[in-house]
């Protein structure tokens, strides 16, 4: 499997049997946000200089992104870092903050929230003509139902009720939102409101929203399920989810959200599941409700038809071994301590190879378990697509005195 080439480099083919994501990925797989948000999905984006044998679809919108949710790779984009008004896509971060508060056990989904006057449409002129859950002042509503009102109805009143309950005020809640902006490394995002109505200084990008969506999907599957609900009835009023792609039987869309203001245009984030492979499409500044759905649909269909996500390496599985001086044992198994995935054009999967490079002239004991000793490079011809840490899959202790002396003589003479 390995070619005999210089001591500090090994090249090996990636055999792709059983590597396609839809065949091998566990039902509840999560690449922790340590890789996604903080790692920006950045070491892997965007299909890193990979030549695309197919033309991406033409998208009629101000900016857009298509992301593979497992790897975080951007498969195609247009103006992905253009700062734009998020409108109700802001509510993704509102829901994310609420969910973090639940995870931290500061609140529970069953807590009952008393609706204040500032969350009452008739008492807040800012809400005139905007999307609402139609809460009544003084009524008690569970955190779970308010969250559904935020996600399904896009209720600005529900956003305010949750913000007051979680943080004591809308201003405090916005501070929490921007805290998570930093934590997820959303470098072109800043929030000024809990609901997304136009406000000076509030902006985000298609790329940042894709990263946030990925964090929502991978972080809390139970919470994410709310994004697939098609309607909500509250106080005798039934409202349909504005994400029309939820009814698309071809794509299996199960989230996320739409948004619109006059300055923002028509925005949508849609996530589709094909087998166990998930894509996230973000479209900002669309021309109409139908138009934004059509553009997201084109992106998702293109991504499903032309790409595959493969598992390159299994955590803890040996991909090579090397000699170790002054140690016991004398050979060490090398590989990755994480499951590693990569998204490729379907026609290019068989052309990808990998090599590993030892970063030291000689490997010498002691070596700790999972200590990095080199890098794994994913290659297409002479083009590097990505790199990952090469680590020791076992520890190697120093050998006894006689072995160390023998190794010293072999190395030096």
To the query of whether residue 88 is one of the catalytic residues in this protein, the response is yes
- Give the per-residue pLDDT at 236: 95
pLDDT above 60 for 205:
yes
- Give the per-residue pLDDT at 406: 85
Span 48-70, pLDDT tens digits: 556 666 789 999 999 999 999 99
Cβ–Cβ < 8 Å for 212, 94: no
The residues, ordered by sequence, that sit 6+ positions from 309 with a Cβ below 8 Å of its Cβ are 20, 21, 25, 68, 70, 71, 277, 341, 342, 343, 344
Q: Residue 399 — very low, low, confident or very high, per pLDDT cuts 50/70/90?
A: confident
To the query of whether residue 272 is one of the catalytic residues in this protein, the response is no
- Give the per-residue pLDDT at 28: 26
CA 161 – CA 170 distance, rounded (Å): 9
- Give me the long-range contacts of 32-38 (CB less than 8 A, separation at least 24): 32/218, 33/184, 33/215, 33/218, 33/219, 35/72, 36/72, 36/184, 36/211, 36/214, 36/215, 36/218, 37/183, 37/184, 37/185, 37/186, 37/211, 37/212, 37/214, 37/215, 38/183, 38/184, 38/185
Q: Minimal CA–CA distance to 8: which of 360, 394, 408, 407?
A: 360
Residue in 63, 77, 91, 272 annotated catalytic: 91
Residue in 77, 131, 147, 154 annotated catalytic: 154
- Give the per-residue pLDDT at 45: 39
Q: Give the residue range(s) of CATH 2.60.410.10 domains in the chain.
A: 9-24+314-412
pLDDT above 80 for 125:
no
- Give the per-residue pLDDT at 10: 54
Q: Residues within the annotated binding site for substrate?
A: 257
CA 240 – CA 289 distance, rounded (Å): 14
Residue in 88, 131, 218, 336 annotated catalytic: 88
Q: Minimal CA–CA distance to 255: which of 220, 304, 204, 207?
A: 220
Q: Among the ranges 13-17, 245-249, 349-353, which has the highest mean pLDDT value?
A: 245-249
Q: Give the residue range(s) of CATH 3.40.710.10 domains in the chain.
A: 47-307
Per-residue tokens: 326: 């002054």
Q: Residues within the annotated binding site?
A: 257
CA 17 – CA 5 distance, rounded (Å): 26
The pLDDT mean for the chain works out to: 86
pLDDT above 50 for 21:
no
Domain 9-24+314-412, CATH 2.40.128.630 — does that match?
no
CA 257 – CA 359 distance, rounded (Å): 46
Q: Residue 279 — very low, low, confident or very high, per pLDDT cuts 50/70/90?
A: very high
pTM for this predicted structure? 0.85
Q: Which CATH number fits domain 47-307: 3.40.710.10, 1.20.120.1200, 3.40.50.2300, 3.40.50.10490?
A: 3.40.710.10
Pairing of strands 277-286, 63-68: antiparallel
To the query of whether residue 368 is one of the catalytic residues in this protein, the response is no
Pick the range with the lowest mean pLDDT from 40-44, 198-202, 281-285, 309-313.
Answer: 40-44
């Amino acid at each position: 499997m390995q070619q005999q080439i210089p001591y500090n480099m090994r090249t090996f083919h990636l055999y792709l049997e059983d590597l396609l994501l839809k065949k091998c990925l566990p039902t509840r797989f999560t690449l922790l946000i340590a890789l996604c948000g903080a790692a920006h999905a950045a070491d892997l984006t965007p299909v890193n200089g990979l030549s695309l044998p197919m033309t991406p679809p033409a998208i009629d919108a101000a900016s857009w992104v298509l992301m593979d949710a497992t790897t975080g790779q951007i498969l195609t984009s247009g103006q992905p870092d253009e700062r734009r008004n998020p409108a109700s896509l802001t509510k993704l971060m509102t829901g994310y903050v609420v969910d973090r508060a639940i995870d931290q056990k500061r609140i529970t989904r069953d807590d009952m929230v008393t609706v204040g006057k500032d969350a009452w449409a008739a008492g807040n002129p800012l809400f005139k003509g905007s999307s609402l859950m139609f809460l009544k002042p003084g009524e008690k509503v569970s955190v779970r139902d308010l969250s559904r009102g935020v996600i399904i109805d896009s209720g600005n009143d529900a956003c305010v009720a949750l913000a007051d309950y979680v943080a004591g005020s809308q201003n405090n809640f916005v501070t929490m939102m921007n805290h998570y902006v930093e934590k997820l490394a959303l470098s072109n995002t800043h929030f000024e409101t809990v609901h997304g109505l136009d406000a000076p200084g509030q902006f985000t990008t298609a790329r940042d929203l894709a990263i946030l969506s990925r964090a929502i999907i991978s972080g809390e599957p139970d919470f994410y399920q709310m994004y697939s609900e098609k309607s909500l009835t509250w106080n005798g009023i039934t409202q349909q989810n504005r994400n029309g792609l939820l009814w698309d039987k071809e794509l299996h869309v199960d989230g996320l959200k739409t948004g619109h203001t006059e300055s923002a245009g028509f925005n949508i984030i849609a996530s589709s599941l094909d087998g166990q492979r998930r894509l996230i499409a973000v479209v900002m500044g669309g021309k109409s409700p139908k138009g934004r759905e059509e553009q997201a649909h084109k992106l998702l269909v293109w991504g499903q038809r032309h790409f595959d996500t493969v598992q390159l390496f299994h955590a803890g599985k040996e991909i090579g071994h090397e000699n170790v001086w002054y140690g016991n044992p004398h050979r060490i198994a090398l590989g990755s301590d994480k499951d590693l995935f990569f998204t490729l054009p379907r026609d290019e999967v068989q052309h990808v190879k990998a090599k590993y490079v030892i970063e030291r002239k000689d490997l010498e004991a002691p070596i700790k378990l999972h200590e990095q000793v080199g890098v794994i490079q994913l290659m297409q011809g002479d083009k590097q697509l990505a790199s990952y840490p090469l680590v020791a899959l076992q520890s190697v202790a120093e050998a006894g005195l006689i072995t160390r002396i023998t190794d010293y003589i072999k190395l030096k003479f």
